[in-house]
Amino acid sequence: MTDPRNPINTSKRALLRASAAAALGATLGFGGPLKAAAQGSKVVRIGYQKYGTLVIVKSRGTLEKRLAAIGATVQWLEFPAGPQLLEGLNAGAVDIGTVGETPPIFAQAGGVDFVYVGNEPPAPAAEAIVIPKNSSIRSVADLRGKKVALNRGSNVHYLLVRALASAKLRYEDIQPVYLAPADARAAFEQNNVDAWAIWDPYFASIQHAGAKVLVDGTGLVRNLQFYVAARAFTERAPELVHAVIDELRDTDAWGKAHPSEVTRVLAPNTGLDQPVVDLAVGRYSFGVQPISDEIVAYQQNIADTFTELKLIPRKLDVKQVRWKA
């Protein structure tokens, strides 16, 4: 049975390991991964979501060229959100991936053996709590007793906690409804929930469709985007981690200078119209950087907050999962 405080479930881990192995075997052919390992081939398995710098890197094909120069290749694996990506990392299917600021907290609490290897600058306006355009809700305080959809353990989980605290509400004062983005949107549009805590580009999409912003992350959270890696991978192949970070840095510099091109690249990958992606890109923050002491302290505060709320089962020491390059 799943521990309600811990989204990483033992049976799910086993199932995901088996699924990942089957998927990799189907992709590469029977014996492909074992044969590659025996020959000493270097493969970086990157977990990504539908949006962000990694999608730009994937679309431009620049990482493949960089890795080829050092005798390595890349395999791309898409996930619907950060918690699921970290489950993939825990199952041994992912080496490096990108997640928001809260998923690593839940993952560390669940015993996932990963490290933070970098982060993008804050983008607080890129996530929000939205309400239907005809809603009678006027402030966060009006969420008392209401159903709020969110992806459990995702970046918006902390936004919701902070927004409630700012309105002098406890987490217990609302009814959280834990749904992945696609299911949450359906529930939101069918009026089965009263509000939805969501991030870009899903936020931009529902906003463009007419939803009202109750509050975004400005003044409440940083909404950081992190790059995380399996600890064993960083120890086995630090040069590959550095290669990925270097490519992210170059891509961020390109993206910051070419926002219209970023939209052109991201729109077909997200399946969203250009005006929606334009809105999201305008709130994105480019500029990958090493994990600083300040960022560790910020993540520690998130961890302590979720410990106090008993949403994770134990107190964490975030310094233990900071990569020492």
Q: How far is CA 276 from the centre of its chain?
A: 20
Where in the chain are all domains bearing CATH 3.40.190.10? Answer: 10-123+224-321, 124-216
Q: What is the DSSP letter of 121?
A: P
**In this predicted structure, what is the pLDDT of residue 302?**
97
Q: How confident is the model at residue 41 (pLDDT cuts 50, 70, 90)?
A: low
- Read off the pTM: 0.85
Distance, in Å, from the CA atom of 171 to the CA atom of 121, rounded to the nearest integer, reads 28
**In this predicted structure, what is the pLDDT of residue 12?**
42
**What CATH superfamily is the domain 124-216?**
Periplasmic binding protein-like II (3.40.190.10)
Q: Tell me the CATH number for domain 10-123+224-321.
A: 3.40.190.10
pLDDT, average across residues 131-146: 98
Q: Report the percentage of the chain scoring pLDDT > 90.
A: 85
Q: Give 163-217 pLDDT, tens digit per residue.
A: 999 999 999 999 999 999 999 999 999 999 999 999 999 999 999 999 999 999 9
Would you state the structure tokens that stand for residue 316, as one six-digit string?
């964490």
**What is the identity of the amino acid at 121?**
P
Contact call for residues 207 and 280 (beta carbons, < 8 A): no
**What is the identity of the amino acid at 73?**
T
Distance, in Å, from the CA atom of 308 to the CA atom of 226, rounded to the nearest integer, reads 23
Contact call for residues 63 and 298 (beta carbons, < 8 A): no
φ, ψ dihedrals at 44, nearest 5°? -105, 115
pLDDT, average across residues 221-237: 97
